[in-house]
Amino acid sequence: MPRNLSRHPADASVEKDSQNIARCDWARALAALPAAEIKAAADTIARTHEVQDISLPQAGLGLLTLRDGAFHEPFYLGELPVARAHVMVRTRDGREASGGAVLIDDRVRLVRALAILDATLAARLPGWEAVATLVERGDALRAQRDAQRRHILERTRVDFALLGQAEEEDDE
């Protein structure tokens, strides 16, 4: 079965794993879990596979740029911590896969662990089943948090149309 390893969510043929979670969402799902659990899973894989950094894991600051609504000029909202890693995971029998992760965080070890898990799951290297389970759990946790946030947002919504009706009733 041919596999498209595209990381763009708008791509109609984005690779899906067995739980129908797009690869571009794996790091987000995994990041919803405790960091210690992610690092432990990556350490388990690193003990049985060779892990080589394609580029050294890095942490730094990213500048968040938006466009002004009136004049369409760049507006710099601020800086945020960003970490990224790109690794190659090779099994004892010579199979290898590349994996990467970018995270709005400054923990280099965590983002490297996410990259190891990404490579393992993408190529279905030994241990991928445990990673798939983590992705599924993380996605469920993320969906639960998103639902809670939507519920809170819904409770704070104000219907301003009702304000006009109240003023009209007071005038009578």
CATH number of the domain bearing residue 142: 3.30.160
* Residue 12 counted as domain residue: no
**pLDDT of 8 higher than 70:** no
Q: What pLDDT does 136 receive?
A: 95
Q: Which residue has the higher pLDDT, 1 or 89?
A: 89
* Residue 2 counted as domain residue: no
Q: Residues near 23 by Cβ (< 8 Å), separated by ≥ 6?
A: 5, 6, 7, 14, 15, 16, 17, 118, 121, 122
At 82, the pLDDT band (50, 70, 90 cuts) reads very high
* Residue 134 counted as domain residue: yes
* Residue 109 counted as domain residue: yes
| Domain that residue 132 falls in | 23-147
Q: Which residue has the higher pLDDT, 62 or 163?
A: 62
* Residue 37 counted as domain residue: yes
d(CA 169, CA 172): 5
* Residue 107 counted as domain residue: yes
Taking residues 159-172, report their average pLDDT. Answer: 64
What's the domain count of the chain? 1
What burial class does residue 139 get, using C-beta atoms within 10 Å of its C-beta: 0-12 exposed, 13-18 middle, 19+ buried?
buried
Taking residues 24-42, report their average pLDDT. Answer: 96
At 156, the pLDDT band (50, 70, 90 cuts) reads confident
**pLDDT of 76 higher than 90:** no
* Residue 17 counted as domain residue: no
Q: Residues near 9 by Cβ (< 8 Å), separated by ≥ 6?
A: 22, 24, 25
Residue 48 has which token pair?
């049985």
* Residue 169 counted as domain residue: no
Q: What pLDDT does 97 receive?
A: 97
